Amino acid sequence: MKILCVGGGPAGLYFALLMKKQNPAHQIVVVERNRPYDTFGWGVVFSDQTLGNLTEADAPTAQAIEASFNHWDDIDVFFKGQKVTSGGHGFCGIGRKHLLNILQHRCEELGVELVFETELTDYAQYGADLVIASDGLNSRIRARYADSYQPMIEPRRCRFVWLGTRKKFDAFTFAFKQTEHGWFQAHIYQYDADTSTFIVETPESVWRAAGLETMTQEESIAFCERLFAEQLDGHKLMSNASHLRGSAMWITFPRIVCGKWVHWDGNVPVVLMGDAAHSAHYSIGSGTKLALEDAIELARCFGAHADARSALAAYEELRAVEVLKLQSAARNSMEWFENVERYTSMEAPQFAYSMLTRSQRLSHENLRLRDAAYVASYERWFAQRAGAAATTVPPMFTPYTVRGLTLKNRIAVSPMAQYSAVDGVAGDYHLAHLGARALGGAALVFAEMTCVSADARITPYCPGMYKPEHTQAWKRIVDFVHQHSDAAIALQLGHAGAKGSTRAMWDGIDQPLEKDNWPLLSASPQQYLQGVSQTAREITAADMDRIQKDFVRATLAAEEAGFDWLELHCAHGYLLSSFISPLTNQRSDEYGGSLENRCRYPLRIFKAMRAAWPSHKPMSVRISAHDWVEGGITPDDAVHIARLFKAAGADMIDCSSGQVSKLEKPVYGRMFQAPFADRIRNEAGIGAIAVGSIFEADHVNSIIAAGRADLCAVGRPHLANPAWTLAEAARIGYTAAAWPKQYLPGKQQMERNLARGNYGR
């Protein structure tokens, strides 16, 4: 097979040598427009895991690379005059030029033809059977066949510059400096015996305000030397971009995602690889890793399949998943660095922890495996600030105080619809359901959305708070929780709006009742399910007054029943949510238009409830922080919404998303909604509850310890196991969690079995 690799970067060179090694009969040419020693950047970073993959793919190359590595285990974070060190990270660096020279030498050793200083305008002249487009971030081949590759190229919001220094660093170092214009940060790592990479980064707005846009290259470097003088310790910064003038050395990172990686030019496949196919932000050091692992997988697929089409189909299927995972982590990391100012009110220990776990790949227990002493020290620091009686407490088991209520830990049982009430009355089922979860170790148990009138219900089986018998039924449950557990119990009040008068979930979710429907209301006329649902009419001023009174009456009833906490449901497309989202609010009066106007009625309801609810008891608001639909609510909007409710007296925002439109396209994953809580907590300055695919203690500890949320609401795991919190405590070895005295034999056996490693057998 004749193979042409366009671009002599890591992807093209490594694929060429792997394919030549696999079959020496292959005729392989690598064409590079630069000279052998021309390259940009300073050093590249690999993890120990990546090196293992290289060893398996081609041992001689891996040995040559490893012999040139500078290894380190520690990460140092400098912030507000403090230094925080975390160990066990197992990274290594190598000069980019040296890496390319190693790959070039191995290619020549195996018989790959290398052609330098050649600008390829027509790859057809080589008559190749396979063309590898490894021509970098600004790939011309990707641009030529954009219709096939479907690239999405997103310039990001920070400016950064690659510099170097002769100062040697014995740890991967992150330094954060505040100026009168905003924050700058440096990413620093040593990659050979006497040189370190020194990347300086700041948001575009700060870069311009600091005057860097108009500085010469020499002036920019001098600015960075003054700013990071503490880290440089008298050493100079160096540039290898002498060909660039002035501010051109400061660039923005392009986030690149391609829908397809293969274009067929007749019978010749043209395959994107490395940066041409995808980019991963330098803050997780994975661009070169991705390129090399692309090459490994594509070579493996050609070795495992008899024809090119099968090999390339397998390659795209396998690599797309792995690349998506890493790009997702890279995006999280990139956005953290783009928004450093969001976290600068934190103390240095928490700021450093937040930075270490920014990608969501590195969790609390991952950190413990790497550096148990660091995690133990941080847990002590966190527990002391949380007011824990003991200092050896995982973050999820630290107390949290809101107004006059102190919760024993950071776990809430999410409000989960059960569709089991009779005429709005919460009965024995609810007593067993909520009582079991209160006994199961969570600090706060939410009752499901409870409706403020009969026509506010989602289904005929939803609980209500609009009749005296409803209040008495709830009081029975609240009294049980208070008498038999140390959990608090919360009531979530809501109005279904256009999503009402439907069947129970198991009879057809969101499907209208077959008979006995009631009329529906919404901010504007709408059908939630087009052509299926009833059409909700636009709510009038008289309706608004009546519904406000319903919410206030239910609030007073909640206090009579003894609830500890009250939440207003303004999410998921229900009535109050329909005002907030522009997808469902087309009003032209004072309740439509701007976000402030769209929030006016929900805020009016909240303020009336807050006035009726005891001042020592907390109130939260559940919002959809992202509609996942073009033109809908965005996370930026969610921060603004949170600020409005904070000003109205809300204590916490319960950060959910979606369910406003059936056109939504959510991006799911572990803890996928935690970033919304993070933004709201750290930008709006209000307590936040994280929800969504949080299903193990490690998730909760990571979120709480990093300051991404104050509480975690766990739903489906609590359906599977009412004692999820107690089980997770035992699983992570935390024996101080208080079990009901009736259940202590179960605690002892679970802890023994876990200690022996035979739990569940």
Cα 225 to Cα 729: distance, rounded to the nearest angstrom: 48
**Which residue type, as a one-letter code, is found at position 551?**
F
- Burial of 324-349, coded b for 16+ CB within 10 Å and e otherwise, reads eebbbbbbbbbbbbbbbebbeebebb
Which residues lie closer than 8 Å to 716 by C-beta, 6 or more apart?
A: 416, 695
**151-165 and 237-238 beta bridge pairing:** antiparallel
Cα 425 to Cα 501: distance, rounded to the nearest angstrom: 17
What does residue 201 show for φ and ψ, rounded to 5 degrees? -140, 145
- Burial of 707-739, coded b for 16+ CB within 10 Å and e otherwise, reads bbbbbbbbbebbeeebbbbbbbbbebebeebeb
End-to-end CA distance of the chain: give it in Å, rounded: 54
Q: Give the residue among 373, 350, 405, 399 at the shortest CA–CA distance from 614.
A: 405
As a dihedral over the C-alpha atoms of residue 209, residue 214, residue 217, residue 221, rounded to 10 degrees, the angle is -20
Cα 576 to Cα 321: distance, rounded to the nearest angstrom: 38
CA 185 to chain centre: 21
List Cα–Cα distances, 19 to 24, 27, 292, 515, 758, in angstroms.
Answer: 8, 10, 13, 67, 46
574 in active site: yes
Answer yes or no: are the C-beta atoms of 664 and 628 closer than 8 Å: yes
List Cα–Cα distances, 634 to 584, 590, 617, 642, in angstroms.
Answer: 14, 22, 30, 12
What does residue 149 show for φ and ψ, rounded to 5 degrees? -80, -20
Which residues lie closer than 8 Å to 604 by C-beta, 6 or more apart?
A: 544, 548
400, 574, 591, 601: the catalytic one is: 574
List Cα–Cα distances, 315 to 145, 147, 307, in angstroms.
Answer: 19, 20, 12
Query: How many C-beta atoms lie closer than 10 Å to residue 108's C-beta?
Result: 12
Active-site residue numbers?
574
